[in-house]
Amino acid sequence: ISLLSWFRSSTLMVLCYILILYFLCYVFNAFLIIYRCIFAVLIIASKQINKSVALDDPILTDGDIVMEEDAERNFDPCTCRGCMWGKQTDGKVYIPYYVANHFSSREKAIITRGLESFSSFSWSRFRPSRSSDRDWLSIESQNSCHSYVCCLGGKQVVSLGQSGCLYHGTIQHELLHALGFNHEQTRSDRDNHIRVLLENVVSGMELNFRKIATPNQGTPCNYNSDMQYHRYAFSKNNRPTMVPIPNPNVSFGNAKEMSRNDNARLNMLHKCCKCP
Ligand SMILES: [Zn+2]
């Protein structure tokens, strides 16, 4: 009898162990599923946040080139019509500027750093304006980051909004517009290097992807130019609006400041601009 009861109790015990083990596996599996779900949700959320951050970037969201009322001033026709900032006898190009007083001293220091950066790699010299200057840049904080292209004559506003434009690369970007440069994705040979997906562009913003008859001066299309928008610029559906060709995965539109190519192109423009 004792043997029988021992057998029964040990069988019962084994069954209990199996049940407990099964229960533990079940609980572990449930935790694993919950963990995977949370992880997946976090990844999706972080991707959305990244895109939102990119789209909040003023360089990306604003059509930041100010158009004249009756004519678009492009790099190419503008520079060929002689609207470049004048070159002086010492070979340098001096651009007078005034920084509005509504900027704090810290903000002015950031802007000055951007202005002065040009003297380390180019012939451009931004200098404080004098009362005798006929043409000059008025650097102000309006609603967004924007600039005219080229030198238009007289007072010319470059807007660096205090809430989102005071970054080194953004300041250089707007100044490059004033010096005569357009966005990289508008290059005349753009279609050989960038596929534009207009079906993903916010309605009414297609103008930002138009092509301009830029001379390009023999320089290659530069995906990491300070003038290249991000691949999600003006996207209405979180899908890319631009994809590099032929390799869609190369770094694209991630510049935080002017690239070597930007510097070279600026020097080329001021030394000898070839016009068609
Ligand atoms: Zn721009």
ipTM for this prediction: 0.99
Domain shared by 76 and 114, yes or no: yes
What integer pLDDT is reported at residue 36 of this predicted model? 67
168 annotated among ligand-binding-site residues: no
Domain shared by 44 and 64, yes or no: no
Residue 265 falls within a domain, yes or no? no
Write down which residue in 128, 154, 179 finishes a domain.
179
**β-strand pairing of 124-128 with 145-147:** unpaired
Full pLDDT tens readout for the chain, 276 residues: 677 777 777 777 788 788 888 888 777 777 676 766 564 555 444 333 332 222 223 343 336 766 543 323 334 445 555 667 888 888 889 999 999 999 999 999 999 999 999 999 998 999 999 999 999 999 999 988 999 988 888 999 999 999 999 999 999 999 999 998 989 999 989 999 999 999 999 999 998 999 988 877 778 889 999 999 999 999 999 999 999 999 999 999 999 999 998 988 888 887 754 444
Q: Which residues are CB-contacts of 215 (< 8 A; sequence separation ≥ 6)? A: 75, 76, 188, 273, 274, 275, 276
Question: Ligand 1 centroid vs 113 CA: distance in angstroms?
Answer: 19
Domain shared by 155 and 175, yes or no: yes
Query: Cα(99)–Cα(5) distance, rounded to whole angstroms?
Result: 96
Structural domain of 2? 1-52
Alpha helix (H) ranges present in 71-139? Answer: 75-80, 105-117
- Inter-residue contact 225 to 259 (CB < 8 Å): yes
What integer pLDDT is reported at residue 264 of this predicted model? 86
What integer pLDDT is reported at residue 238 of this predicted model? 95
102 annotated among ligand-binding-site residues: no
What integer pLDDT is reported at residue 129 of this predicted model? 97
Domain shared by 71 and 156, yes or no: yes
Active-site residue list: 174
The whole-model pTM stands at 0.72
Residue 167 falls within a domain, yes or no? yes
Question: Ligand 1 centroid vs 229 CA: distance in angstroms?
Answer: 8
Identify the CATH number of the domain in which residue 149 sits: 3.40.390.10
Question: Ligand 1 centroid vs 177 CA: distance in angstroms?
Answer: 7
Residues with CB under 5 A from ligand 1 (ion): 64
Domain shared by 207 and 150, yes or no: no
Query: Cα(171)–Cα(111) distance, rounded to whole angstroms?
Result: 7
Q: Which residues are CB-contacts of 69 (< 8 A; sequence separation ≥ 6)? A: none
Domain shared by 68 and 2, yes or no: no
Which residues make beta-bridge pairs with 145?
Answer: 160
What integer pLDDT is reported at residue 76 of this predicted model? 41
Q: Which residue has the tokens 């100010």?
A: 66
Peptide bond just before 220 cis, omega within 30 deg: no
Write down which residue in 147, 179, 211 finishes a domain.
179
Write down which residue in 134, 152, 179 finishes a domain.
179
Q: Based on the structure, what is the number of domains in the chain?
A: 3
Alpha helix (H) ranges present in the chain? Answer: 2-56, 58-61, 75-80, 105-117, 168-179, 260-271
Query: Cα(105)–Cα(83) distance, rounded to whole angstroms?
Result: 32
